[in-house]
Amino acid sequence: MSLYSPLANSDSAAERILVIYTGGTIGMQPHAHGLVPGGDFSTRMAAALTQLPITQQQALPLYEVTSYVTLIDSSAATPLTWQRLAHDINEKLTAYSGFVIIHGTDTLSWTAASLAYQLQGLDRPVVLTGAMQPLEAPASDALANLHGALMFAAQPALQEVAVYFAGKLLRGVRAVKQHSEAADAFASLNYPLIGERVGDDFVYYPSRGLGLQQRGAPRFELPDYRLINQGEVVRVVLWPGISAWQLDAWLGDSRVKGALLQLWGAGNLPDQPDLLNVLARASGEGKLLAAISQCPQGSAHFSTYAAGHGLSDAGVLAGDDMTPEAAFTKLAHLLAQPLSFEDQRQRFVTSLIGER
């Protein structure tokens, strides 16, 4: 771990930010087969920050950088990556006033959503960021994203897991990657920004944040969390012509404990009793089933159309306006805890951290 304080105006140990570098394009360097995660991020980040105007350098918080030994393209992240990050933050929670996680963009929103559940009750900022271009690339978005993430991680009023990207601060559990190339790659389509860069200022909107809402809420004890088994939760996105045997191939496997379905529009399934039978059987076996819409905006509920009516009877829970990331990681989160089936179902339909 290295300590760096570029003209920093604070020398209080209690106001340090921990930057956790996991990999991603932001730190990548050219290699024979294409870009790969590069090391020595601490030095490279420090060098990049010296390109900021002097007043902005002086306003930077004190920070330390720690790098994971195995750096990854985030396409290789798994639920165990999410769990390790939560564990590491939890262990160092009181030693730092805020955290920045440097992460690849491809699955950044999945990690953000999972961390938001795992760190429920958080009383300080955890800000994930990355970049569409490596730090050293010409006109890279990396420096601006690092700068903003550090500035928001230094704001004590922010008390949740957030994503900072391209001038926008998004609730972590509401963020989705919506562009594979543009610098403005992330959006929060069903919840407003919780902060943004305005000129040289990094403005947090407390009335939209969890800081005020969750004060005094019970904090989940991470040590009670069992290992999230990979493959326990599956995601099935409907397509026209889906058959019961295809759905059953996913849900019938005894290793599957939960499933996220992505339905049509406001929550519609084809009008085929055999599809509902597969769902009812899985739910009857104690599998946690939930559904959201395939539409990125709006919500899923099962009451509007006759085509969606049988879902509640089949035991499927409505995911309202949750993102796929939020709904999937919530299922994984609930299944990882020692809860009864009824408690899991009840908590799924309750907003735990502003995810719905």
| Nearest distance in Å: CB 185, ligand ASN | 8
- CB-based burial of residue 265 (10 Å sphere; 0-12 exposed, 13-18 middle, 19+ buried)? middle
> In the bound complex, what is the minimum distance in angstroms from residue 32's beta carbon to ligand ASN?
17
User: Using the rule CB under 6 A, is 106 a contact of ligand ASN?
Assistant: yes
Q: In terms of CB distance, is 115 or 291 closer to ligand ASN?
A: 115
Residue pair 142/38 in contact (Cβ under 8 Å)? The answer is no
Given the complex with ligand ASN, which of 130 and 258 has the nearer CB atom? 130
Candidates 40, 73, 88, 248: give the one binding ligand ASN (CB under 6 A).
Answer: 73
d(CA 188, CA 183): 15
Residue bearing tokens 């570029």: 6
Strand segments, DSSP code E, in the chain are: 2-4, 16-23, 28-31, 34-37, 62-72, 98-102, 126-129, 161-165, 168-171, 176-177, 186-187, 195-198, 201-204, 233-237, 258-263, 288-293, 317-318
Closer Cβ to ligand ASN, 22 or 293, answer by number = 22
- Which one of 83-91, 102-110, 244-252, 264-272 is the stretch in contact with ligand ASN (CB under 6 A)? 102-110
Is 43 considered catalytic here? no
261 binds ligand ASN (CB under 6 A): no
The DSSP string of 219-263 is: PP-GGGPPPPPTTSEEEEE--TT--HHHHHHHHTSTT--EEEEEE
At residue 275, what are phi and psi to the nearest 5 degrees?
-70, -45
Q: How many Å apart are CA 334 and CA 326, to the nearest integer? A: 12
Query: Does 22 qualify as catalytic in the annotation?
Result: no
**Using CA atoms, how far apart are residues 208 and 205, in angstroms rounded to an integer?**
6
Residues 117-156 that bind ligand ASN (CB under 6 A): 130, 132
Euclidean distance between CA atoms 231 and 78, whole angstroms: 10
Of 25, 81, 129, 329, the active-site residue reads 25
105 contributes a contact to ligand ASN by CB under 6 A = yes
- Which residue number places its CB atom closest to ligand ASN? 104
Amino acid at 239: W
Give the tokens for residue 93.
């929670």
Which residue among 81, 105, 107, 129 is the active-site one?
Answer: 105
Minimum distance from residue 137 beta carbon to ligand ASN (Å): 11
Which CB sits closer to ligand ASN, 64 or 106? 106
Q: Cβ 248 to ligand ASN, closest distance in Å?
A: 33
Q: Among 44-52, 101-109, 187-195, 317-325, which window interacts with ligand ASN (CB under 6 A)?
A: 101-109
Using the rule CB under 6 A, which residue among 19, 24, 320, 353 binds ligand ASN?
A: 24
Q: Which residues are catalytic?
A: 25, 105
Footprint on this chain of ligand ASN (rule: CB under 6 A): 24-25, 73-75, 104-106, 130, 132
